[in-house]
Amino acid sequence: MSDSQLARNRLRWRSRRGMLELDLLLVPFFDEVFDSLPRAEQETYVVLLEQDDPDLLFWFSEKGVPEDKALAALVRLILDRVQPK
């Protein structure tokens, strides 16, 4: 297995949070969208995974937004992908 594949597998594993609400958002997003993101947004996704679960749940339930603009944009992108039009 290449180093890049190993790193990708680790990121996918980190996308599994142990909270069903977050898993239903992050794992499909990672599987279906992550590889097509620009490098900067991929790096922001890594930063997103470093956040605490209560903060992620707060943001994804739209009770607040991250102060960091790049994180806020990524949260919005993930929400827009899963919310019905």
Number of domains in the chain: 1
What CATH number has the domain bearing residue 72?
1.10.150.250
Q: Which residue has the higher pLDDT, 3 or 66?
A: 66
| Per-residue model confidence as pLDDT tens digits over 15-69 | 999 899 999 999 999 999 999 999 999 999 999 999 999 999 999 999 999 999 9
Dihedral of the alpha carbons of 26, 74, 79, 62, in degrees to the nearest 10: 110
Predicted local confidence at residue 82, as pLDDT: 80
Question: Any alpha helices (H) in 1-85, and if so which ranges?
Answer: 3-15, 20-32, 39-49, 53-60, 69-82
- Of the pLDDT bands very low, low, confident and very high (cuts 50, 70, 90), residue 3 is confident
Domain residues for the domain of 16 are 3-82
Rounded Cα gap, residues 18 and 53, in angstroms? 9
| Nearest-5° Cα angle at 28, 24 to 29 | 105
Q: Which residues contact 21 (CB under 8 A, 6 or more apart)?
A: 57, 60, 61
Residue 83 has pLDDT above 90, yes or no: no
| Per-residue model confidence as pLDDT tens digits over 68-77 | 999 999 999 9
